[in-house]
Structure 1
Amino acid sequence: MSRSRRSAVPAPTVRGRGRDRHGRGARSSVAGPFLPPLRTRIDLFDMTVASTVEYLRGVWPDDLADVTFEVAAGPHSVVAGVGVERWMVSPASRRIVFYRLPIQRLSRLHRNDELHQRMIIETCVFRGVAELLGKDPWELAPDRFRHF
């Protein structure tokens, strides 16, 4: 009697856990599965507010030395006749709170790209600081816009 060349039980093949092509091992994403996205809208908003505040503190160091700047998701209530506030200024406690969601979602941009989003955030920071100091926003950095 001739014997079969096949083994009695074939080895099971494990599939579905990733591809193991040509003995290189399972593939994974380049950034890894546990890393967060590198740039989010929240991070961009926080960085823009922080860089604008840093610039304004450099221009007005005495007036903004004791001012606290905060970022919140949104206001607790809607002001009648005004709508949703973009920022809140408290002169007594020397505090300005910028509301991220109204600034990002309710602002009407004629071009929705990163530059214009950054410009609207900077505009809100300038207007909030100007309201606290009792100045016009254009007075905060007069030399910045005189390049002629």
Structure 2
Amino acid sequence: MGRSEVVRPPLPPLDGRIDRFDATIGTAVDFLRGTWPELQDVRFEIGGLPTRPDADGIPRWEIDREQRRIVLFRIPIERLLPPGHDDDLHRRVAIESAVFRAAAEFVGKDPWEFGPDAP
């Protein structure tokens, strides 16, 4: 009687849109925490949709300074890209931009101040 393998070869890693979104957020947050110590204990969370629009339209993030938390909303960040910019590169830039702008708003700085050579 022949034997079969109990353990099969590992499955390829998941590489869907949500997985790439999570990875991009994680990379941007790691960079920011390494650059700005005031973000060390800030929780970055991912939400699907905001509960309500604000004065500027549909928010891409929500800040709770009391809880030291930033919630980034995946669907508006990914889906409200300008026409012709719905590809992987533009989607990644939009995600990173949202993380940087939300973090800058949280600490009261301009997003351009998050560079490694910034004061």
Into which bin does the TM-score normalised by the smaller protein fall? 0.7 to 0.9
The alignment status of 1:115 with 2:97, answered yes or no, reads no
On the 8 A contact 2:35/2:116 being kept in 1, the answer is no
Deviations 1:128-148 (A, max 9, x none): 00000000000011538xxxx
The alignment status of 1:52 with 2:32, answered yes or no, reads no
Deviations 1:69-90 (A, max 9, x none): 00010111222x3211100011
Aligned to 2:57: 83
Instruction: Give runs of ≥4 in structure 1 deviating > 3 Å.
Output: none
The one-letter amino acid of 1:123's match is S
State TM-score, norm by structure 2: 0.82
User: Which structure 2 residues correspond to residues 31-46 of structure 1 after superposition, within 5 A?
Assistant: 38-46=14-22
Deviations 1:38-85 (A, max 9, x none): 31111111100000000111111x201110000010111222x32111
Question: Any stretches of 5+ residues in structure 1 without a counterpart?
Answer: 1-30
State TM-score, norm by structure 1: 0.67
**Highest CA radius of gyration, 1 or 2?**
1
Question: Comparing both structures, which one devotes a greater share of its residues to helix?
Answer: 2
Q: Which of structures 1 and 2 has the larger relative contact order (alpha carbons within 8 angstroms, sep 6+)? A: 2
Aligned to 2:45: 70
Q: 1:96 aligns with which of 70, 73, 82?
A: 70
SS in 2 for 1:76: coil
Aligned residues: 109
RMSD over aligned Cα atoms? 2.1
Cα distance 1:88–1:51, how it changes in 2: closer, same or farther (>3 A)? same
Q: Measure, in 2, the Cα distance between the counterparts of 1:66 and 1:138.
A: 21
The one-letter amino acid of 1:104's match is E
Q: Measure, in 1, the Cα distance between the counterparts of 2:29 and 2:83.
A: 22
Percent of residue pairs identical: 48
